[in-house]
Amino acid sequence: MKTRKNRITEITKAVAAAAGVVSACRGRRLVILLFMGAFISLSLPAKAQCEANNEAFKSGEHVMYDLFFNWKFIWTKAGMASLTTNATTYHAKPAYRINMLSVGSKKADFFFKMRDTLTCIIGEQLEPYYFRKAAEEGKRYTVDEALFTYRDGVCYVRQKRTHRDGKISRTEHNDSRCIYDMLSILAQARSYDPADYKVGQAIRFPMATGRKVEEQTLIYRGKKTFTAENDTTYRCLVFSLVEYDKGEEKEVITFYITDDKNHLPVRLDLNLHFGSAKAFLRSVSGNRYPLTSIIVK
């Protein structure tokens, strides 16, 4: 982590992300924000800067979350989300397949119907290869796909969005930095130790969003403890994803990740157009390391 961080340039200081599921709005999916904090250097060619050693997870990891919505001061359980990681192959090479499934409850469907399925394939060194997102949110249904390739020190991404009526839109982008999707970024970010972050530090990174590549901004808020509904207390690193409207900072999501080698998110607070939402870790199995962030009372 320290060696990578010392090589950060002024143009891009970081890459970060996280994951979840509760809004059609840009940047408001829990899945985008589950894990953030990976630093990269522009001194490396595009593919090299996408590559990193996997320090956080292993094949067979399975994580479950409970989702809650707030509607006119009433909190209600809104559904669940699952995140699984398994070994696979891509073009005859070893790889990882990450799946995120989120399903709203029948009660939540009354306010906002949500069914999202996301899949990504990354290399053993965590470089993104393929991403797909099928999202039914309210009356809207879309399928996004992204294909990543690398050539002459440049990262290329071809994106396709298919609508419910069959209409297809296609876009292409390239960047001298690595471009990530909603799931590959979380895999990268989990492998870095953010011990050298400074409170208030802004982290910027490019992300493929289905039709274009957008710059995202993450701010490190510091360390806090969080007690879950099962009375388990965790030491956490706190981050916020923010947007800027006419120069004013607007906090979109605040999330808490375990301050241990797993870097698992245990709580996410989201500000939505129609209210607010929270996600809480329910269970995890197949984790690579013990959850040493748990505070024993």
C-alpha span between 84 and 63 (Å, rounded): 6
CB-count exposure of residue 164 (10 Å: 0-12, 13-18, 19+): exposed
C-alpha span between 265 and 73 (Å, rounded): 25
* pLDDT value of position 242: 83
* pLDDT value of position 191: 83
Query: Higher-confidence residue: 155 or 244?
Result: 155
C-alpha span between 281 and 273 (Å, rounded): 24
Q: Which residues contact 82 (CB under 8 A, 6 or more apart)?
A: 62, 63, 64, 65, 99, 100, 101, 102
pLDDT digits (tens, 9 = 90+) for 13-55: 333 333 333 333 343 444 444 433 323 222 334 455 788 899 8
pTM: 0.77
| Terminal CA-CA length for the chain | 31
The yes-or-no verdict on residue 68 having pLDDT over 90 is no
Query: Do the beta carbons of residue 158 and residue 212 sit within 8 Å?
Result: no
**Per-residue confidence at 281, pLDDT binned at 50, 70, 90?**
very high
pLDDT digits (tens, 9 = 90+) for 175-191: 998 999 988 988 887 88
CB-count exposure of residue 34 (10 Å: 0-12, 13-18, 19+): buried
**Per-residue confidence at 249, pLDDT binned at 50, 70, 90?**
confident
Query: Do the beta carbons of residue 148 and residue 128 sit within 8 Å?
Result: yes
Highest average pLDDT, of 70-84, 147-161, 210-224, comes from: 147-161
pLDDT digits (tens, 9 = 90+) for 199-225: 999 888 888 988 899 888 888 899 999
Query: Do the beta carbons of residue 1 and residue 261 sit within 8 Å?
Result: no
* pLDDT value of position 35: 39
